[in-house]
Structure 1
């Protein structure tokens, strides 16, 4: 599959990608670093010239190298791929090139997810931390689609982390939950309702994964983060985001009770109580809107692979 992907590309980008993937095959870190350095400079140059299509091809090449490095267990190479994308991200955000920025943010998620699945805790943690910072920046700049991309990446890393039997799972899961909570709350405060709902949806999916693995502390902290986003959304009178918060908490309560996860059930019930005074109805319009956001997020994630 790797060979067929490389055959589709041509020119200097193809040459650098080929060098990076071949160096991974040989477990040659220096060769990977050289390929990433070349691609990074090309990507920044394309963005400075506003050649977004060429820039996105370069971003995809770095993403491929990062994923291949993670699959091979090459921690330093995977971290360097994330650092390369960070450099291009700064240029992309400065140029306000949304499509490239979203592709980079989703790439952090894909590399972090693969790293988590390969038990490369440091790489997964680094990817989540970079996304957390990026989410705050995007929300503060009122860039909603970029903020949504951050929530997708964080959620996918978080779900992968909770499903792996690794010693550092609690710390890595906590980072994803904290970053999702902060990004979602800030999105709500900036009245970016779709982004706030995106964070709530990913937290709900993380809670389901955590409960599958009987990670009650993680599921409990997720409930608290959903409550915070929902309360911020309430202050801004964003009914759909409030509805999703209450709905997610009710789902967590039901799932926890079915699994006899008492600590999680109690934590979610306490969080849900803060919405009891609200007239949260089974609103068809809210349900339709939330499903549209969910499908849009799934499409974005599928396109990033």
Structure 2
């Protein structure tokens, strides 16, 4: 059970945000961080996860209030808890932290808080590489979800000074997805491809040709790595995503993006993209699992 002290701290932290009292928010976050680390050391996973939720809510509220320093501090607090949960090998808690990075980063991108969104994406990128190298597939999938959500929000802002965050998310998703494929974490590789495809859709809505072309290149790289490891479903998803991007970009007269996707697609031109029902079913299962994880984390 959480203490009354915890409830009081979260209430005070949110009140300090309403008052725009940075020091008070920082003190609340510091207290919650120590509390969360204590729960993790005692392996009290439920209490630790509730503390993570509280830190996430403060970070999200801070981003909505455009309190950049408070939002950054929330991400830093979550990073300290992440370090503990990974050491304790507490998968569910780690996943919750990673998705919380995504929530704060997405909100920050929507509020055009470039520094906050970039920090969240960078934390996720670093964590994705670590998780993939350690063969922690669920954690790697959580990273791809968070990066994708931040990236989609950044692509939709239409502000040039924020669009760099979309590029960071594309790069991190590409790196994580490729490493996941190399480590034969097929579901994680597919997860990265799915989020890149969704980012491409958001980018095309805003007529971002260069970003769409970069996404196509990242999907191709993941697909090629998956092909080397004979992961049919991940290769199928890469080719299918590229075909969708090529068609959608062409329909929007985004010719450079369409050509980039077409060139990337030629890597996989021998695949049957129509009748592979088994791969389609598997990919939809992964897509639904990712959607559920994200909804549950809000």
TM-score bin, normalised by smaller chain: over 0.9
Deviations 1:110-157 (A, max 9, x none): 000000111101100110010000000000000000000000000000
2:67 aligns with one of 62, 67, 74: 74
Instruction: Kindly tell me the number of residue pairs found equivalent between the two proteins.
Output: 297
Partner deviation per Cα, 1:159-214 (whole Å, 9 max, x = no partner): 00000122323311110000000000000000000000000000000000000000
Tell me which residue corresponds to 2:181: 188
Partner of 1:152: 145
Contact 2:196 2:219 in 1 (8 A): yes
Q: Corresponding residue for 2:21?
A: 28
Alignment of 1:111-260 (within 5 A): 111-260=104-253
Q: CA deviation at 1:42?
A: 0.5
Indicate which of 251, 264, 269 corresponds to 2:262. Answer: 269
Structure 2 residue runs without a partner (length 5+) = none
SS in 2 for 1:287: helix
CA separation in 2, counterparts of 1:224 and 1:189? Answer: 17
Counterparts of 2:113 and 2:212 in 1: how far apart (Å)?
A: 22
The normalised TM-score by structure 2 is 0.98
Q: CA deviation at 1:280?
A: 5.2
Secondary structure of the residue that 1:27 maps to in structure 2?
coil
* 1:86 and 2:92 matched: no
TM normalised by structure 1 equals 0.96
Q: 3-state SS of the aligned residue for 2:128?
A: helix
Tell me the distance in 1 between the aligned counterparts of 2:32 and 2:268: 49
Task: Return structure 1 stretches of 4+ with deviation > 4 angstroms.
Answer: 278-281
| Aligned residues of 2:99 and 2:294 also touching (Cα < 8 A) | yes
Q: Is the CA contact 2:191–2:287 (under 8 Å) kept in the aligned structure 1?
A: yes
1 CA distance for matches of 2:269 and 2:239?
Answer: 9
* Structure 1 gap ranges (5+): 1-8
2:296 to 272, 280, 303: 303
1:293 to 275, 279, 286: 286
